[in-house]
């Protein structure tokens, strides 16, 4: 199970800026968020705040000198669909897809949808460090590099403990799907919550 310790409390503000279009800069990674990420849902299956998830992904991308763009995909709750749609909008062809419960994927626009560059299927194992590394690797793919894949973590007991809860979370996320909806561009703002 992931270490969920987060020292500060940040809140996430996501403002919609209209339909997301294809990117023109080749040095960008698009992060595709699932329908209820940072909205109805506020944390992953192991209670990591979505604000921290997004912050780590963005930090991982930006530390490589790569530009990041965040979109929300309402058309489906299938991770491959979200990540591939985001990759097709990405100027570099590289995107990260992330579901509310924490399942994450790095995709590339020219791969078939059900393939991927890297997949992190076990949401309960995704901690802050893992999200940072995912962002970093996505940025390195965008720069045309061939990074070592983020080491796959594997807890074979995640399924008996979390799978049924994951199903309930997914059912809930799927309730927010708007079939055929265009992806929307998001403005991302983090705010430090008042400690009091």
Partner 1 sequence: MTTSARRSKRTEALEQRPVNLDGFVEEWPEVGMVAMDSPYDPEPGVRVEDGVIVELDGKPRAEFDFLDQFIADHAIDVDATEQAMAIPAVDIAHLLIDPRATRRDVLAVTRGLTPAKLLEVVKTMNVVEMMMALQKMRARRTPANQAHATSARDNPVQVAADAAEASLRGFRELETTLGVVRYAPLVAIALQVGAQAGTPGVLTQCALEEATELELGMRGITAYAETISVYGTEPVFCDGDDTPWSKAFLASAYASRGIKMRFTSGTGSEVQMGNAEGKSMLYLEIRCILVTKGAGVQGLQNGSISCIGVPGAVPAGIRAVLAENLIASMVDLECASGNDQSFSHSDMRRVARLLPQLLPGTDFVCSGYSSTPNYDNMFAGSNVDAEDYDDWNVLQRDLQVDGGLRHVPEAELLAVRNRAARALQGVFAHLGLPPITGREIEAVTYAHGSKDLPPRDVLEDLKAAQSVLDRGVTGLDIVKGLDAAGFTDMAHSLLAVLRQRVSGDLLHTSAILTPELETLSAVNDTNDYAGPGTGYRPSGARWEEMKRLRHVVSAQNPEREVG
* Residue 168 near partner 1 by CB under 8 A: yes
| Nearer residue to partner 1 within complex by CB, 3 or 175 | 175
Q: How far apart are CA 47 and CA 169, in angstroms?
A: 12
| Nearer residue to partner 1 within complex by CB, 8 or 154 | 154
**Residue 171 burial (CB count, 10 A):** 10
Sequence-distant (≥ 6) Cβ neighbours of residue 108 within 8 angstroms: 87, 93, 94, 95, 116, 117, 141
Residues of this chain, 71-130, that bind partner 1 according to CB under 8 A: 76-78, 81, 112-116, 118, 121-122
* Residue 144 near partner 1 by CB under 8 A: no
Containing H/E element for 183? none
* Residue 145 near partner 1 by CB under 8 A: no
Q: Among 22, 165, 178, 191, which residue interacts with partner 1 (rule: CB under 8 A)?
A: 165
Distance of closest approach, residue 108 Cβ to partner 1, in angstroms: 12
* Residue 161 near partner 1 by CB under 8 A: yes
CB-based contact 49:23 (threshold 8 Å): no
Distance of closest approach, residue 69 Cβ to partner 1, in angstroms: 25
The C-alpha angle 58, 62, 63, rounded to 5 degrees, equals 120
DSSP designation for 73: -
DSSP designation for 49: B
Given the rule CB under 8 A, which residues bind partner 1? Answer: 76-78, 81, 112-116, 118, 121-122, 146, 148-149, 152, 154, 156-168, 170-171, 173-175
């Amino acid at each position: 199970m992931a270490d969920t310790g987060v020292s500060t409390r940040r809140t996430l503000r996501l403002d919609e800026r209209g339909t997301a279009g294809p990117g023109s800069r080749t040095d960008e990674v698009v992060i595709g968020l699932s329908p209820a990420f940072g909205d109805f849902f506020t944390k992953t299956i192991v209670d990591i705040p979505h604000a921290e998830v997004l912050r780590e992904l963005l930090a991982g991308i930006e530390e490589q000198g790569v530009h990041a763009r965040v979109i929300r995909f309402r058309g489906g709750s299938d991770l491959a669909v979200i990540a591939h749609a985001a990759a097709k909008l990405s100027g570099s062809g590289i995107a990260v897809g992330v579901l509310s419960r924490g399942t994450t994927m790095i995709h590339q626009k020219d791969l078939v949808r059900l393939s991927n560059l890297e997949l992190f299927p076990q949401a309960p194992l995704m901690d802050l460090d893992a999200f940072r590394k995912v962002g970093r690797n996505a940025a390195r793919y965008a720069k045309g590099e061939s990074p070592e894949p983020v080491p796959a973590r594997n807890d074979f007991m995640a399924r008996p403990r979390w799978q049924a809860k994951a199903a309930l979370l997914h059912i809930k996320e799927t309730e927010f799907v708007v079939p055929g909806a265009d992806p929307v561009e998001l403005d991302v703002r983090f705010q430090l919550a008042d400690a009091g």
